[in-house]
Amino acid sequence: MEPSLGKKKKSFQMVDLLLLITVIIWGINPTVVKISLREFSPFAFNAARYVVATVVCWVLLLWIEKDWRVHRKDLIPILVIGLFGNFVNQTFFIIGVNNTTAGNSSLIMAGVPMIAAIINGILKIEKISERVALGIATSFAGILLIILGSGSRISLVDQYFYGNLMMMGNAITWSFYTVINKKYLNKYSALRLTTYGVSVGTLCMLIFWSGALRTQDWRSISMINYGGMFYSGALSIAAGTLFWNLGIEKVGSTKTSLFSNVTPIVSVICGGILLQESFKLLQGAGALLIFAGLSIVNRKEIKETAVAAVEEQSV
């Protein structure tokens, strides 16, 4: 009798679908934000959408989970991680995008999977195999093609140095959040950690960005841009961060971070539809490379699952 492979792991799981939905939401978000910022100031918009996200998260948490608390010894670390992943990260982002080129921003953020892999290696949280490294490199090459195809400039001249530095801070804080959160996702639900993280981020924004909120002319904002604020808060921040944390919990921080490289594909398509931005052949080739990188990582998981099942049957 031949050994059974047991319950074979599917190449595309529900968590993969949720991560794909997340990066689609995040890919649409830059266009939504770009339109909304015609009437919002950047800091007022960010704070307002985080208020929306906090309300959504707490409603879901209180509705779904009876016990919404965390242990006292875990509270400070969870809040610090949430602070990095939300307030500090968003501060770097808002300053960075306003002081560098779109090409620089995309290229630096494409480094998130590699930065996450390095942090994982240093802290020995997840082992990075050669196949995973190949998947990351393939996906990164796809990002380069998308940037080159868009005609965006990649520049290291002095005038962009500050913006590049801020975007690097954005990439590092998001990578740190992605990797370190794994420890607490083994103990608490993704929804609970998302809610605490978003809440501490919102509190800091209301304190440090209160001036922008006071000077914002709220009456002059159109309904469509209020809709953009709610989309960005409820979907991009609340749902997106929740699904992202769920991905970290189920498949690990390295594979989850690799999904972020799908975001520029959606951004280019969305920009082409809503903002009449061009989509070129080189960008299409880049999209194929990004999905190829994800496929390489998925094939690794299928093979490892099958081998483990055979070994278990032979014991």
The whole-number pLDDT of residue 14 equals 87
- Is the pLDDT confidence value at 204 over 90? yes
Residue 22, Cα to own-chain centre: how many angstroms?
8
Mean pLDDT across the chain: 79
Average pLDDT score over residue span 104-130: 73
The whole-number pLDDT of residue 309 equals 34
The whole-number pLDDT of residue 159 equals 66
**Angle at alpha carbon of residue 202, lines to 63 and 47, rounded to 5°:** 115
pLDDT band at 148 (very low <50, low <70, confident <90, very high): low
Sign of the C-alpha dihedral, residues 102, 104, 106, 109?
negative
Three-state secondary structure readout of 249-314: HHHCHHHHHHHHHHHHHHHHHHHHHHCCCCCCHHHHHHHHHHHHHHHHHHHHHHHHHHHHHHHHHH
- Is the pLDDT confidence value at 233 over 60? yes
Which of the residue ranges 14-18, 28-32, 54-58 has the most confident prediction, judged by mean pLDDT?
54-58
The whole-number pLDDT of residue 305 equals 40
Q: By mean pLDDT, which of 20-34, 88-102, 223-237, 294-308 is the weakest?
A: 294-308
- Is the pLDDT confidence value at 138 over 90? no
Give 26 or 194, the one with higher predicted confidence: 194
Give 210 or 66, the one with higher predicted confidence: 210
pLDDT band at 314 (very low <50, low <70, confident <90, very high): very low
